[in-house]
A and B are shown apart, each in its own frame.
Chain A
Amino acid sequence: MKQFSPFENKEVTLLDLLDGIIDTGVVIRGEILISIADIDLIIVDLKLLISSIESAFENSSRKIIEEVVDRGTLIFG
């Protein structure tokens, strides 16, 4: 079993963090002035960010990301 702290590795936990704090944590919708709707787009941008940080932007992964951006969504699973 591998155990990660939310503060340990920012790249590994960033996706989990966004999955937690965007949308799913909305407690009181009625009076909220601002919310974020386009979660798919956020995840796409994030994937681009992670890829560039890791310098892992090889042709195959670039192709995947381009396809994802083209479709407008990144499919989980």
Chain B
Amino acid sequence: MAQTATTFLYVYGICAATDIGETEKPELKGIGGGPVKISMYNDLAAVLTEVDGEVFCQEQIDRQVKDADWLKKHAFHHHETVAFFQLQFPLMPMSFCTIFEQDNKLQTLLTNQHDDIMRKLDYLRGKEEWNIKMFCSPELLRDFVQHKNPSVVSLEQEMGAMPKGKQFLMKKKLAMLVETELEREKNELWLQAITRLEPMMTAQLLRQNWGRDMTDVTEEMVANCDVLIKKEDDDKFFKAIESIEEDMKEKGCLFHVTGPWPPYHFSKLEKDNAQ
């Protein structure tokens, strides 16, 4: 059936045609109300749905993403659809609101980037994305630095042998040293954690930390990292994080792990992506 001028294609993700096989194909409703379909493009396939071009045009989308209710509803729809198919076969997820004006544009793209897409799908096969957030209690960590950090303890001992007047002057230096060592300690703790997790990881991407106003946690976020791991390493990965958390308990460290996510952060085709 010929598309009307205002019908666009909303694409959830790309997969290899050979991976689809006897996949369960339930009647899923797409973002625009029409059915979600798997369209074949030679040996690649796209999970997509047709949408009304007047509703899913740039101007409308720019307006609608500022509506939190619309954004929440549609972002979760996009995610749930991607996650459903990703459970069944390797899928390279597309960004929210990836829309093609015409089918032949999608076809051309899949032809031109065929080899890169196939390589990426091979890379993602059998792997899943997890997010690790590491938090530290500023109070406990400060207490640790003040009483157990070698540089701080050493300076305090030196100060103990100084005349009272000089001790007073050195107090400012000590306070500055505590702050410096506190920051160094946070970086060092994350480095230790990620080093212990590296044998189980294929790739990692560090994100910006979130402030306390964006988390439900009283502790301070010291790392926010997406990692790609092999599915069979799940158990080892969780046990390693639990063990790290136990070892760092004295410093008030705790970990939140979210996933498995579709490989949103590891699906880029750019050459500089972690691979």
How far, in Å, is B44 (CB) from chain A's closest CB?
12
Give the bracket for the number of chain A residues in contact with chain B: 35 or more
Residues on the A chain within 8 Å of B75, using CB: 14, 17-18, 21-22
Q: Is B119 an interface residue (CB 8 A)?
A: no
Residues on the B chain within 8 Å of A13, using CB: 258
Residues on the A chain within 8 Å of B92, using CB: 27
- The reply to whether A4 and B214 form a contact with Cβ atoms under 8 Å apart is no
Contact digits for A18-57, partner B, Cβ 8 Å, 1 yes 0 no = 1111111111101111111010011001111100000000
Residues on the A chain within 8 Å of B56, using CB: 34
Residues on the B chain within 8 Å of A35, using CB: 95, 97-98
Residues on the B chain within 8 Å of A41, using CB: 66
- The reply to whether B238 and A36 form a contact with Cβ atoms under 8 Å apart is no
- The reply to whether B95 and A27 form a contact with Cβ atoms under 8 Å apart is yes
- The reply to whether A31 and B105 form a contact with Cβ atoms under 8 Å apart is yes
Majority-rule SS of B interface residues = mixed
Residue of A with least CB distance to B130 = A3
CA–CA, A27 to B100, complex, Å? 13
Contact digits for A55-77, partner B, Cβ 8 Å, 1 yes 0 no = 00000010010000000001111
CA–CA, A3 to B265, complex, Å? 19
- The reply to whether B109 and A15 form a contact with Cβ atoms under 8 Å apart is no
Binds A, one of B18-26, B151-159, B249-257: B249-257
CA–CA, A10 to B216, complex, Å? 13
Residues on the A chain within 8 Å of B259, using CB: 5-6
- The reply to whether A42 and B66 form a contact with Cβ atoms under 8 Å apart is yes
Q: A1-B245, A28-B269 are in contact. Are A17 and B257 (CB under 8 A)?
A: no
Residue of B with least CB distance to A41 = B66
Residues on the B chain within 8 Å of A5, using CB: 258-259
How far, in Å, is B142 (CB) from chain A's closest CB?
19
Best-buried of A7, A48, A77 by chain B (most CB within 10 Å): A77
Residues on the A chain within 8 Å of B257, using CB: 1-4
Q: Is B71 an interface residue (CB 8 A)?
A: yes
- The reply to whether B65 and A77 form a contact with Cβ atoms under 8 Å apart is no
Could you tell me which A residues sit within 8 Å of B by CB distance? 1-7, 10, 12-28, 30-36, 38, 41-42, 45-49, 61, 64, 74-77
Besides the known contacts A16-B131, A23-B95, A77-B221, 12 further A-B residue pairs in the complex with CB atoms under 8 A apart: A1-B257, A2-B255, A21-B93, A25-B96, A26-B98, A27-B95, A27-B268, A27-B269, A61-B213, A77-B208, A77-B209, A77-B210
Q: List 26 A-B contacts (CB under 8 A).
A: A2-B256, A3-B256, A4-B257, A5-B258, A10-B72, A12-B216, A14-B76, A15-B214, A16-B131, A17-B76, A20-B264, A21-B264, A25-B94, A25-B268, A26-B94, A26-B95, A27-B269, A28-B269, A31-B105, A34-B98, A42-B65, A45-B65, A45-B67, A49-B68, A49-B72, A76-B214
5 A-B pairs closest in CB distance = A77-B209, A20-B264, A49-B68, A76-B208, A25-B95
Could you tell me which B residues sit within 8 Å of A by CB distance? 8, 14, 56-58, 61-62, 65-69, 71-72, 75-76, 78-80, 82-83, 92-101, 105-106, 108-109, 113, 131, 207-211, 213-214, 216, 221, 224, 226, 238, 241-242, 245, 254-262, 264-265, 267-269
